[in-house]
Amino acid sequence: MNESVFNPAGPQADRIAGMWWYMFSVSSVVWTLVVIALLYAAWHGHRRDVADQSDETNDRLRRPVSIAVGITVFILVGTLVYDVFTGEALASLPRDNALRIRITGHQWWWEVEYIDPVPGNHITTANEIHIPVGEPVQIIGSSADVIHSFWIPDLAGKKDLIPGHATAMWLQADKPGIYRGQCAEFCGHQHAKMAVLVMAEPRPQFNTWYKSQQLPAAPPSDSLSRVGEKVFMSRGCPVCHTVGGTLALGRIGPSLTHIGSSYTLAAGTLKNTRGNLAGWIVDPQGIKPGVKMPPNDLSGSELQAILSYLTSLK
Ligand code: CUA
């Protein structure tokens, strides 16, 4: 899994990395020259009282100081111009029929909605964003509570998600892979455990995934999962979670319609394994203190049943 601005995997990230290297090089040269000048002055200069400074000395200094000021202004203006052009370029990826994804920040997870031209094909997932490789994708961001910041270092710069205000950005991955991102704006207790994954896949693979997500949850196929579904529905779970095709329609927490095929749990906090899922259901507060999910007091057999049910939701 990648997560580094030095490893750009898309046109936006490329531009940002280019700008970073430019600033790093210029700053390094300036710093080196300043240090050389400082050491030169320390070794070769000699102490003189202010009162002794003649007009001649002032004249001698005027030239180098003017040149240094000129170079400084030139560098600053150059950086400003480069910055403006980079900003323009970052916003200039639009395409008419591009895939549009609405990302809503929540404390502390990401709601991901694919805005399909056919309303019936609209899907809602969480924390994992599948995109087709080599195509610009429009991200429309907002927040359900406080300000979050959407940041996939390998693919693009940061974008704030602001309550009541939609922001837009473009994203493109040129290489298939899983790119990790992280909320980049302090948003409360579990800000650090608010990760997001972007899975960039070739178009056909993306289409298969997209179709699979449009399906409602598969009904439980074995007796343990059927018991698990009953436990799930009779506890508080449906108040907060949706399972497509069932009476669970909660929108407070992530949709669990395809939780069995998700890579991680709790916004990148845990790898999605049966054991981690069990720990998360029983004691989410121990894993992510302050999270909105309450602990669940289940018997061993109820827990096993609910695990069978949830892991079957592929
Ligand atoms: Cu969301 Cu920090």
Q: SS3 of 45, please?
A: coil
Amino acid at 212: S
- Burial pattern 245-258, b for ≥16 Cβ within 10 A else e, equals ebebebeebbbbbb
Regarding the beta carbon of 136 and ligand 1, being less than 6 Å apart is answered no
Each residue's pLDDT tens digit in the chain (314 positions)? 768 888 888 888 889 999 999 999 999 999 999 999 899 888 887 666 665 666 777 777 788 889 889 999 999 999 999 999 988 888 777 777 889 999 999 999 999 999 988 888 889 999 999 999 999 999 999 999 999 999 999 999 899 999 999 999 999 999 999 999 999 999 999 999 999 999 999 999 999 999 999 988 888 889 999 999 999 999 889 999 999 888 888 989 999 999 988 999 999 999 999 999 999 999 999 999 999 999 999 999 999 999 999 999 98
Atom of ligand 1 nearest to the CA of 148: 1
Q: Ligand 1 atom 1: the closest Cα is on which residue?
A: 148
Regarding the beta carbon of 187 and ligand 1, being less than 6 Å apart is answered yes
Give the distance (Å) from ligand 1 centre to CA of residue 97.
30
Task: Supply 273's token pair.
Answer: 């394994």
User: Between β-strands 128-132 and 99-106, what pairing exists: parallel, antiparallel or unpaired?
Assistant: unpaired
Give the distance (Å) from ligand 1 centre to CA of residue 140.
17
Regarding the beta carbon of 19 and ligand 1, being less than 6 Å apart is answered no
Exposed/middle/buried for residue 10 (C-beta within 10 Å: 0-12, 13-18, 19+): buried
The residue behind tokens 């845990």 is 270
Atom of ligand 1 nearest to the CA of 194: 1
Give the distance (Å) from ligand 1 centre to CA of residue 266.
13
Task: Quote the crossing angle between the two packed helices 300-311 and 274-282, to the nearest 10°.
Answer: 120
CB 158 within 8 A of CB 151: yes
Which domains, ranges and CATH numbers included, belong to the chain? 1-214 (2.60.40.420), 223-311 (2.60.40.420)
